[in-house]
Structure 1
């Protein structure tokens, strides 16, 4: 029997909001959702989530939740919404794989500061800062008995979660799997690390993060926070399916430096080729690029796309100029963007780059993500069940 893997539910929270209609309205706008924040006496441009009553309500509904890091609360919030939309119940015993690049940064920095000052650690410092507590709390909250996994592969963490979900379903060990990425990195030490790499945006211009601007002369990466969870199902009912997984690809470059990537992103060339194994390049209508807003990162990915697609390059877009780089959540927030473009049949322009040819229709979207060290993942989403079959 031919099989397909479809996305039947999605939930997210970012500086774009947490409601599908509002998120799409904000995507259609030419404005960004970055803001200036003062964090530990340093002024930073960030993609901060505005005061969210949903998160505060979640934090206050259970005493234990009040002690959790924002990265966990964001994951809980997004996962509840994805599960609700997919109409899953605890009896489904679905698996959970929520990843994060940095994990519980706020609590870790808080507890470590206490240790330096007082010479001892708080009782809950370990269980609330382990990476695994994100998926564990999501599994607890949704009362599923399926496997609960966490991992970190820096900025491609979210798409690696999706890879894992596809692998579990294709193995026959489960029919349903929730995958996600969550990040709350707007903390003093995390921001200081990005500034130390000399890749962080310094000027609060009209568009502080210039992702996909291949003419920029300075790095303009901006950190954002958020989470996205997605429900995957084997052979889902077409009426409930948002998109189908048509192709997956992955690759890793040989390291020459801790954050190295080749000038033409060979890792992306390999991951895109793998994702396009059974797909004609001309069928891809849109590419949601990783494009973090750095000079080398944006240009190397663009050159990799040129190598694969030549002159018939698809429409290129990214959401990092709007919400910043959400690290482990970024790949799945890009998947959400791709699904919205498929549903609404409309591309999202990057306002400060040259106008591109718009596809007549949006049937297939390629999504890229890469982490430090050249851990690349490429995913092809389709709006057609036939394309999802393997």
Structure 2
């Protein structure tokens, strides 16, 4: 990916999220947001209010009744992002820029006719539909004609584009397991910098809370032994492995503007304005496709590439949102990579997986949303277990790096800052 130009900014005009925390970016109480799946495993499922919004959206348009849950989560997050950016209006929106988190019933219209592109990442795509249609095939020996188009990965981005009213922009889907959302984000940044797109909705979505997917995570031997009420996902806590699956989505409204314009917008705004400075990638060849090198070579490459693209030194990073899946080997390798890049002056280490679980292809996007919330509020919740995660800011937080990694030795890092 090309380096960022000093006279051009990629702005995050708006963002939307769907997670186990509902409308809250941080938990509003000390109770665990995790719940027990019907099979007994702890999961980070959507709360009732968000679940109602998903059901309402499914019936808001005749075509949406056939969509997979992953697609619907992406639609909810994308609507929030576009509305926050001022790219669409709703009949319930009383003032410009007001964020309508969970009301899907009022179909929105684009406020301008400028081209809109979409890139969405998802590790598994239409998980629920794919498993359902396969079960039907085993039972009856046939599937409906809609099974193929409704279960492709491209199905996610294409419906987001349809709902957003995009008619001539790029529509791309990405899958690189748990770094999928940053693959989508990096693609959006490249297109914007190259002048191949004017505006972008980019992010990730995942709805993997099915018996089959949970069984796969158990088979790897990484699932948390803790109950839902005991904060089962514990990044940075060491043994045992505390991987806990979650569902959700986060989408960002991106636009390239002149640096001077960004400064003017920031000065006139009553809310913080965020800049996406870079997205870096790293890859390594490893013997096990579910493994990771002890010193996190792919993390090191991704972090260094993100810094190099942005023209930043390691000391300019104030905080780092770790990928931190809660697995001892994964957490240790990432920490080793951070030490290799930053030395003794490492940034403050954060994670949101203890709040929303590991959402696979959506995890990087939700981590980025968490980073933006930290930039906006200059605070974060404290994990209720022993961990090396930071408890409070040591200095003003102006720039945050966000890590993500997936099976097969791939990693990605995004650098964001306040304008």
TM-score with structure 1 setting the length: 0.92
Aligned to 1:101: 123
Partner of 1:388: none
Question: Which residue pairs with 1:248 in the alignment?
Answer: 279
Is the contact between residue 9 and residue 242 of structure 1 (CA under 8 Å) also seen in structure 2?
no
2:355 aligned residue: 322
Q: 5 Å matches for 1:1-390?
A: 2-17=7-22, 19=23, 22-24=24-26, 26=27, 29-38=29-38, 42-51=39-48, 52-88=51-87, 89=110, 91-145=113-167, 146-204=169-227, 206-213=230-237, 216-235=238-257, 236=262, 237-238=265-266, 239=269, 242-277=273-308, 278-352=311-385, 353=387, 358-384=393-419
List runs of 5+ in structure 2 lacking aligned partners: 1-5, 88-109
Post-superposition shift, 1:209?
1.2
Question: In structure 2, how many angstroms separate the alpha carbons of the residues matched to 1:120 and 1:255?
Answer: 39
* SS in structure 1 of the partner of residue 233 of structure 2: coil
Offset of residue 31 of structure 1: 4.3
Contact kept, 8 Å, 1:136 with 1:148, in 2: the verdict is yes
Q: Contact 2:400–2:416 at 8 Å: present in 1 too?
A: yes
Note the C-alpha offset of 1:378: 0.6
Would you say the 8 A contact 1:317–1:349 is kept in 2? Answer: no
Question: Following the alignment from structure 1 to structure 2, what is the Cα–Cα distance between the partners of residues 3 and 55?
Answer: 37
Deviation string 1:329-374 (CA, Å, 9 cap, x unpaired) is 1101111111111011114433322565632201000000000012
Does structure 2 conserve the Cα–Cα contact (< 8 Å) formed by 1:32 and 1:323? no
Q: Say which SS state the counterpart of residue 229 (structure 1) adopts.
A: strand
How far does residue 29 in structure 1 lie from its aligned partner after superposition?
4.9
- What is the Cα deviation at residue 212 of structure 1? 1.4
Contact 1:318 1:350 in 2 (8 A): no
CA contact (8 A) 1:154 1:371 kept: yes
Deviation of 1:142 after TM superposition, in Å, equals 1.1
8 Å contact from structure 2 (residues 235, 351) kept in 1: yes
Alignment check: 8 A CA contact 1:211 1:320 kept: yes
Deviations 1:281-331 (A, max 9, x none): 122111000000111111100111111111111111111111110011110
CA distance in 1, matches of 2:279, 2:172: 20
CA distance in 1, matches of 2:30, 2:300: 30
Would you say the 8 A contact 2:286–2:293 is kept in 1? no
| Secondary structure at 1:91 match in 2 | coil
SS in 2 for 1:220: coil
CA RMSD of aligned residues (A): 1.6
Q: Under a length normalisation based on structure 2, what TM-score does the superposition of the two structures give? A: 0.86
Cα distance in 2 for partners of 1:226, 1:248 equals 22
- Rounded to whole Å, the distance in 2 between the matches of 1:270 and 1:252 is 7
